[in-house]
Structures are given as structure tokens and as C-alpha cells.
Structure 1
Amino acid sequence: MTSIYKKGKSHTNADGLSRWPLDNVRINPDHEPEVSAKIPIHFMEVDSKRNFRFSGWAPESGTLDSGNTDSAGTETPILGISSSELHNELFGAILKSYAKHRQCGILLQLLQQKYRSPELECQLEEPWFRAHKDKKFFLIDGLLYHRGKHTSALMVVEGDHISLILQECHACPYMGHMCEDRTKERVARTAGWPKWEQELSDHLHTCESCQKANRKYGKKYGLLQHIEEPKHPWETINMDWVTGIVPGGKENYISCLIIVNRFSKSMNCLPCHKEETTIDNAPLFWNNIISSCGVPKIIISDRDPKFTSEFWTDLYDMLGTKFAFSTAYHPQTDGLDERMIQTMEDILRRFSAYGMEYKDHEGYTHDCVTLLPSVQLAYNTSQNSTTGKTPALVEKGWNPMLPVDHLKKNILTIHPTAKGFHDLWKRACDTAAKCIAEAKDYNKQRWDKTHMEPDFKEGDQVLVSALNVCKV
């Protein structure tokens, strides 16, 4: 096979980059210039007025021109690139700001002189002196630029100009309110000033749009604040209401008051009505708790109107009780009640999963309200994970008898003496207190791993999430 070169009419000496015919007769004597119009290639140049404009390249002359014409005298630009000129007012304002800034004025004098001036250099302060010594500054049309590793940035020193640069590089729609790293890269290519990185970080951390729109990642605010744990049973109690249960009982109760002994972890379930006033709830608390367990020192509950009313406040002031109201959506204070409520609901759900009422083998029915005493007994005779003992044993020193205990009636039981019983009960209380302290430290350690202490200062303006405001 024989390859034969056949000369064409055009592109006999094409440039590999642009693929345009070149009028280089010396390199290619056989090149025949085309009669068709020369089409300009546009590129960017810097003119003497410190502005950027697009000019055309005339292939036949090899000179810069603002355009090109064909044989008929008409312009034939094809790329259609256009750019708005930068405002001379901005550059003029930056030049005027140099005159007001002492360090910039000294730098301008040093850069405009042909010879070094040690006297002027000694007047420069850091970081200006170090940058000038490393030859980082240079002038273009009277404007001061700082030479970086891969790019150069215009120096600005006035606060209004700095704010304009930060606004243009971060808050404009075409900048998108990007993160600190991306905004920092944009600012580094645009302008610079002393300590600009710190000022940029402060600007981004105080950007109102970013604070309102961005999600918060990382650790949540608020380390775990311990509640003073009691030393004796019924010294501190938790109280909360469960609403929305299936109506039951003779009075068609639809709510339940949960009272928890924080020392022994025992639970009391008292049925009530949701719409009951404080006058109705006070005797309920008095007849079932105070009459049998005494007056608690601290009552922990949510900010319910039942507790904040004048009647409850006056009642517990006379009894010497100190209220310790918890904050809404602060589960560290009401977490004990929440776990009790969840356990109670789980037990009730198992007995009422197949209907509104539970029927035994004899047809006897139980609704949710009539099952509350059995739920209370079941929980108080079950071992607690914190104390390692049953709430009834820690509180009373003995467990109530259950039907299953009658199976052990033939087993010999050694009854302790009075002193031995007291020692056994005291040992159980000491063990429970030790377990509570260990559980408290363990819970704090786990909580603090995912939370941090807020760094707010007095007088700071803090944005508050409105997610749970309507639920408070």
C-alpha cells in the first residue's frame, strides 16, 4: 500500500492550538492566503486605565486591535464575549484610603523610589515590615497588591471596602453563603488586609442568614447538670401526669399522676381527671403520699400550671417544701418519670392490646385504670437496674408477698432479729446509695461525650431555635 499526500486548499499550515491558518510564507511557501474574512479571536488585556477589556487579535498584522473587518469592511466578531468594566470610583476610593493609612503611605513611598530607604523601612510595623522585606508588595497603576503563593490580591485597608469584599465573596446569590473554607479561598484570590483571616471568621460566625438557615452539627450545648441525689427514701420525688389513657374506673378517669421516689425508685400510680383543678389534686397527693410517706423535701416536676398555681405554692410553703421546677424539654430532670411512664404504658398495652378491656378466664374484666395497682406492685417488686435491688426492699426492707411466693411455704425461712433486720435494711440503703452515685457519674460521662459547655457571655445576643417554642 502506498500513501500519497494530496495538498488541500486550506489549513496547509494549521496551528495545533487554534486550528487557524497562519500567514507564514517563510515556513510554508505553498500556503495560499484565503480571500474570506479574518475572524478575530478575543482575549483579555490590561489597559493603562486599570480596567479590564476584551480586544481582538488581527492575524494578518500580529497586532492588538479592538476588532477586525473583512474585505467588505464589516466587523465579524464571533465569540461575543462581553464584560462590564470595573468602576473607577472604587479604585479611586481605595487610592484615597491609602493616603489615610500610615503603613500604606510608607509602602507607596518605598515602592515608588528607585533605591532603598532604611529610614522608611524602620517605620513599618508587623506584618507590613516582614511582607515588604520578603518583597510581597508591588504596585500596578498606583494600587497596592500582595503577592501570594499562587495568586496576588488587592490590598484594602478601609472598613467599608473590607465589608464590601466580604459581602461580595460570601453573601451574594452567586456566592451562596458558602462555608468558611470556601469563602476564605475566594477572599484570598480577591483582596487582602492585615489579620483578614480572623476578621473573615468573625464575619461568617456572625452572619445572620447563615445562623438562621444552617443546621447545627457536632456536639449540642449543655453539659449534664446533676440533681442532688437523696440520702433517704421519700426525700426527693418526681411527679408527672400521663394523659390520654383509655377511660376507666367508676369515675371514668382519663389521666394518671405518676409519683416516683428517687431514692428507692418506687412508683405510685394515682388515677385522676385531666381537667381537675389544684383543689382536687392537692387532696389526691395528700391522701396517698403525704399521709403514708411524709412530706418530701424536694418535688421535681415540669412547669405545669397545676404546680405553679397559688394554691400549690402556698400549700408547700407552709409544709416547708422546696420546688425545683425543671425546664421544658430537659429530660435530665424528668427522665426518671419518663422511664416509669414508658414502663407503665408497656404493661398496660400488653393487657389491653386486643381490646379496650382485658378479660381473664372467668370473664372478669379489667380496664387500664383498674390495672394500675397491679402495675405499681409489679414494678416495685422488680429489681431496679441502678440499685440492683427491688424498690420495695430498699424502701421498706422487705418485699410484698405475691401469689408466686406461696409456692415456697414449705421452705424454712429464718426470720432476722430486730437488730439484724435494721442492719440488713441499712446495708441495702447504703448499697442503693452507692449504686445511684455510680449510675449518676456514668450517665454524666455518657451525656458529656456528645455535649459541650456553651461559650456565651453576658450581653451576647443568642439565636434560639423555635422548634419547640410552641410546645412550651
Structure 2
Amino acid sequence: MLPDDSKPFHVVCDASDFAIGCALMQFDDDGHERVVSYQSRKMKPAKRNYPVHDKELLAMRYALIKFRVYLLGEQTFAVYTDHESLRTAMKSPHLSQRMERWLSFFAEYNFVVHYKPGKNNILADALSRRPDYDPRVVLGLQVIDDEDESDDHHAVCTASGINLTSVSPEMDLRDEIVAAYADNAVYANILAYLRSPSDETLGALSRNTRNQIDRYHLDGDLLCYNIDRFNASRVVVPNDDDLRARIIHEFHDSPMGAHLGREKTFAEVSRDFYWPRMYKWIRKWVRTCETCQQVKPSKSSQAPLHHSLPIATEAWRSVSMDFVFALPPDADGRNGVLVFVDRFTKMVHLTPVSDTVTATETAAHFVDCVFRHHGLPESIVSDRDPRFTSAFWTALFQLLGTKLSMSTAAHPETDGQTERVNRVLEGVLRSYATSFTSWSKFTPCRVCAQQRGTRVDGDNSVLCEQRAAPARPCFPRYGSSHGVWCLHSG
């Protein structure tokens, strides 16, 4: 049913071993419970290791995020769960570190938790147990042939299962990988065993390969490898330098690769492909990349000592911003980039600008890139650029009830986070300066590479704990009208 703001909402949620599900509900005029919206999500491997209590809390948190526009500001709404202990979870004196981080998020909502036995919580339970989310279930791939090529008006087919593959190599690369298996004795023997299991084909394998044979399986003609039962399959790449170089080139040297470092490149390649000693292979590739050596600054020159800013504790509560100029003019005459960085999740927003950009235009970019998606932050860190310290900014933030606070002028490196992003951004753009002049068209690729790279960034406490970026790093904060405008010398 369509949401009715005149009636109260309530939420049902549940978590299984591998997924979470929730639904936003309302009662109709006849008193029947109706669904406004369904939501479900497969858990990442790190979250599958959570205790049951935290998984149920994760489902509740996910529901509040998904239905935020309906629930935030609601007088009091009910959340139903089949985990009875959640009714007193937020009042417990014994809280995990994860729960302590989530408390500030839950505090934004006015809700009461009710216990609903599992046999009555059917809807949320079904959403959290979708078979296509279960890593233990592998659906077969069905190919539907076009028997009548002349009939382009309609098609009717019946399928017992659908297999969705997130990434598949292009056909010529796939054929090259399959052909290269025949030249590798180890993989040829593995393929022979998987196609025809017998004592003879098993005996042809080495002891180490026999111990790991359950990690291999076939996907058509491709040999795939699972590091463990929770992770997705990776395509096994034979011992062929040309094939491996071609794959790494796509993940490192292409515009989507953005010439990132070895850790981030390895994280991306290892998500879809596997070969022994891959990390050493990628480390050597990045270390000997001519473009990286030419355009990226040396790490030997250390910045002077400085005092760090207070550590951010929540997404988009503290934002740093800066300009990067002296770039080649694009087709619209823009020769710079305005950079916004969330100090907690390290999420980046970039927008091309010209070096004549005014304070008014800068404010418009801030509203469009940050405020529109995430709300008003409590603090904004910038340098003493005239665009940030002009009377326009002062008047604007006084109108919003924001205090203007100047930081120490002797520490231009105070905002090291944005300076670091700027340095990486300049290196990436220089990496492609010889191949194109319309660099502004590639800023979405740069943003995509940066967001993907945060998964292996070690500066964030969330990343250190879970080895993964937060699932939803952009929580709007429209309820806050007071902030602190922090500036430092530039």
C-alpha cells in the first residue's frame, strides 16, 4: 500500500546466518496489516561472524536507515523483532564497542522495541532467508536458446533457477584463460579430476592439491577457486604472464583503476581472480609502473610536526574541503577541482571548478555535493582561502546558527586528510594527462576508485575492525542547525 502519513508506521525485522530483512508496515482502514516497503540484504563475510545479538541489532539498524524518511521525526513507532533481549539492549550496562557506536544512531529515533515470536514474524524471517543470499546454495546456470530467430515479438521460457554473476571476463579473455589451462600440468590435472572424478585422476594430483581440491569447481570451462565457503568464487588464472599482465592493466592502468597503490589494486584484482603469489606479482607491477614513478610524489619528504584534528566519530558530521588548481583547462575552461572529504568514512565528493570560482559558487557546490546528500555537518575544516573566509560565508553560516572559529595560522598541515586526497587526485590526473585533456569527464572514475579503495584503507577504526568499509557511509543530518566552521592557514 502507499504510505499514509496520518497513520503510525511500524517495522518488522529479522536476521539469519547470512542475511537481514525488514519491512515497513501500516494498518489500513479495515485494521489489516499492510506492507509499505520491503528491504533485504546479504551480509558481508565480516558481519556473518557477528554474534546473534549483534546480527539482530544490525537488522534493526538497517531497517531504520532504509526507512529513515518515514521514521525520522515520527512521534513514537514500534519495532518488532523475534530476539527478546533487544527490548532492553540499549539500557544494558554491558555494551560491546560496536553497540556503543550504534547508540548515537539509535538515539535519533523515537521507537519502542517489541518482542514478536519467530512463528509470527514470518515476513521478516522470509526476507532474511532468501535462497539466492545463502552462500551454501549454488543455483545452476540455464541457457535459453533462441529456436525461432525470426520471431522477435515475444518469448516464453521456464527456468528453475537464475544465477546472477557480478563480474565475468569478456569472451576473448575467457577463451584465452581456458586455452591456457592445457599448458599447465597442475590445472590440467585438476580439470581432469573435476570432469571425471576417479582414483586415477585423483592420484595424478599432488598431496597439497588433493588437500585443497574441494576449493575448486567448474563454471562451464572456467576453473574457479574459493578461499573459504563464505567468499565468492574467483577465476583461476594460469601461469601465463601475458594474461596476468592484461588483467592487472585493467585494474591498475585503466581510468577505472586510477593507478592506485598495491594494496587497493590487490583488493580489486583478488575479488574476481586468483593465482598463487598474486600479491607479490601486483606489488612488483605497481613498483615498476613508469607512470606511477613519474607522477607520484616521493614519501621520503616528511611534513613538519603538527597537531591532529579531533577524531571524527560519525559519518558526515565533520567534513574537510579544499581546492586543487593548475590543471589543464577542460572543454568548459575549468582548471581545478573542489574536494569534499568526510573525515570519518573518508568518502570523497569532487566537482570541477575554474580558478575564478567565487564564494557564492563554492557555497552552491557545497549545497549540491554535501548538504543535498548528507545534511549539514557539525564542523567543516578548510584552509584560509578567501573563498572560505569571505563575508559571504560568514553571513551564510551565521544565518544557519554556525559559529566561525579560526584555527592556528602556523599549521597549514592541520587538514592532512584533504591534503592527502589532493595529492592522490593530482597523481591520478597526471597519470592520464598524456592521453586526454578532458580530465573533468574522468572525475567520476576517480571518485569510484577512491570509494572502492576505502575498503582496504587502514586509517578508519571501522575498517580496522571489519576489514571493510561501512555499508552506508552517507547518513543525512538535516536535523542539526548548529555547527562549527573550522579554518586553518593555507
**Rg bigger for which structure?**
1
The TM tier, using the shorter chain, reads 0.3 to 0.5
TM-score (norm 2): 0.32
